[in-house]
Amino acid sequence: MHQYAYDENGLATSYLLLSILVPLFLYFLCTYKKEISFKCDCTECKGRKKSYKFLIYLMKVILISILLFVLIRNILTIKLEGRVEDNPYHILQIDEDATDAQVKKAFRKLSAIYDTDVCKEEEKKEYEEITKNISKAYAILRNKENYKQWIIDDKKEEIVAIPKELKDSGYLIFLFYGIAFGIFLPLWAFRRWMRTIEINRIGVRYDTMKSFYYQLANISSVKDLIGMIADAKELQIAADIDFLTLKALIESKYAYPLREVKKMNNGYAILMDHLFRTKFTSDSLRKEIQNKSIILINAISKLVQCNNNVEALNNILIVEKMINQAIFDPEYFLLQYPNVKFEDIFFDKQNGKSYTVNEKDVKDIKEKIPDISLTVEGLEKNNGIYLVEKNKMCELTVILKNSLIGDINNLSLDNDSIGFVLKPDGEKDFRLENSVGKYLKIPVHAPYMLNNIFLEYTAYLVVDGLINQELVRFSSFSENKSIVFPLDTIKDGHTKQLDIYVINNAYFQGDIKQSIRIKAV
């Protein structure tokens, strides 16, 4: 029969903690990714707060390493001490090869030394414990069978990995568990459940999506889209903001009219603070607004397909650039470059001049903006259009549905290609698959964004004024990128107008729009 005991020396608890910390330590080592940021020496980038992510990561690794060292050392020490202290030969202070006479002699000697009848009163309790251990050790060693049985019983003993201190504080622990699992855990689960029924998988409230859907039927301008985002419930975070002072600050410096104070809200105020680069509100508020605004832009880009609002789709991608670059008006897009000031651009405009950017300041940025341009090659056999990359950048293919399998296979790329390729799924049925390729994380020069962002593209096709299929979003890439847009079959003698857009998320350069007219013959 097994004997159970609480972990009084910490050995079992050390093993338990070690089994948790070792996988956690390996997880930290394997999942670390070096933070990538745009290297720039401009005033804005130098003034940006440094990230402490690596320092936090390093502190976690050091802390876990220290804990692992302590636990391993604790296990080895306790094991060594346990072997010595529990050994009956050690208790009687004799060697393990001692004879029965030596055992008896040692017992008598120690019994006389620790005699409870002659010791002081304050030592009596300690002597009683020692005498008890001496008698137990002598009883084991007096009979070899007892010694063998002691070894077997010692192996049978199982330690429960609960430290003795926790056992002694049982009521407090019970109270802690009652509060944690009886109050806080159900409350957390309830709030998570409420979140799932209020927010969709994109991270936007359902009522916000509904509001956006109806508003997009009537608005499409950049200014209206920014106002719609600013008024969303997601951006109405709790903050004490002096609307009047912020309005006066922006209007006096930029001569740009904002809403009336009574029509302003926290979302609008913080978003304007970011776009006008005034840093009137705290970093934490602006960071939250930046992140939520990008999520809302993603939601709007999906909704405009339902409304088929091409102008709104084009402009919402411009709004994304504006937020990433902290630019309040696309007219002042040159502010995306280092060391460019609003006052200089505004002054030149007032004097009828065109502001010239210093090439030295923009060289690093221009080198990182791919020059995407496409040429058109007609494919007569399947009435499709094959857009081929011109400057080793992007490749788009427009294929008509119900085309011949052989012709489509000739257009398909191999498994090492990047992007979306067409694969035959039947005689005349086809499906899009995302092939494995090498994407690049190219950091963007965006000193006013409090999170690092990376260059991405959105590609979409407009056919006769109607948005065709889903938008394709992808990161920057090496070598070639292939995207396949399927089309409905064109009747003989009919034509279609195709407008293909490839828009990046960060810079007011490097975008393309290619217009093509195709005719089925």
142 shares its domain with 166:
no
**Strand arrangement of the beta sheet that strand 466-477 belongs to:** 439-440, 466-477, 456-463, 495-504, 512-519
Residue in the block written with tokens 């217009």:
515
214 shares its domain with 312:
yes
344 shares its domain with 260:
yes
* Residues composing the chain: 521
Residues in the chain predicted with pLDDT less than 50, given as ranges, are 1-7, 79-84, 152, 155-157, 159-161, 373-395, 399-437
484 shares its domain with 360:
no
The answer to whether the CB of 229 falls within 8 A of the CB of 208 is no
pLDDT at 162: 55
Could you give the angle at the alpha carbon of 459 between the alpha carbons of 456 and 463, nearest 5°? 165
DSSP secondary structure letters along 456-512:
EEEEEEEETTEEEEEEEEEEEESS--EEEEEEPPPPTT-EEEEEEEEEESS-SSS-E
pLDDT at 297: 94
310 in any annotated domain = yes
CA–CA separation, 324 vs 106, rounded Å? 84
272: domain CATH number is 1.10.3380.10
The answer to whether the CB of 44 falls within 8 A of the CB of 108 is no
430: domain CATH number is 2.60.40.150
513 in any annotated domain = yes
Helix (H, G, I), strand (E, B) or coil at 214: helix
How many independent structural domains does the chain possess? Answer: 4
Give the tens place of pLDDT for each residue, 122-175: 777 777 777 777 777 777 777 666 655 555 455 444 544 455 666 666 677 778
374 in any annotated domain = no
Q: Which residues of 355-386 are buried (b: 16+ CB within 10 A; e: fewer)?
A: eebeeeebebbeebbbebebeeeebeebbbbb
243 shares its domain with 256:
yes
pLDDT at 484: 66
375 in any annotated domain = no
226 shares its domain with 350:
yes
Give the tens place of pLDDT for each residue, 486-497: 666 666 666 778
389 in any annotated domain = no
pLDDT at 103: 76
Residue 122 domain boundaries: 88-155
219 shares its domain with 329:
yes
pLDDT at 347: 84
355 shares its domain with 466:
no
434 shares its domain with 500:
yes
pLDDT at 450: 87
pLDDT at 413: 35
pLDDT at 409: 39
- Report the first-to-last Cα separation within the chain, whole angstroms: 90
98: domain CATH number is 1.10.287
pLDDT at 168: 65
178 shares its domain with 261:
no
pLDDT at 476: 73
pLDDT at 504: 87
378 in any annotated domain = no
426 in any annotated domain = yes
30 shares its domain with 119:
no
442 shares its domain with 457:
yes
55 in any annotated domain = yes
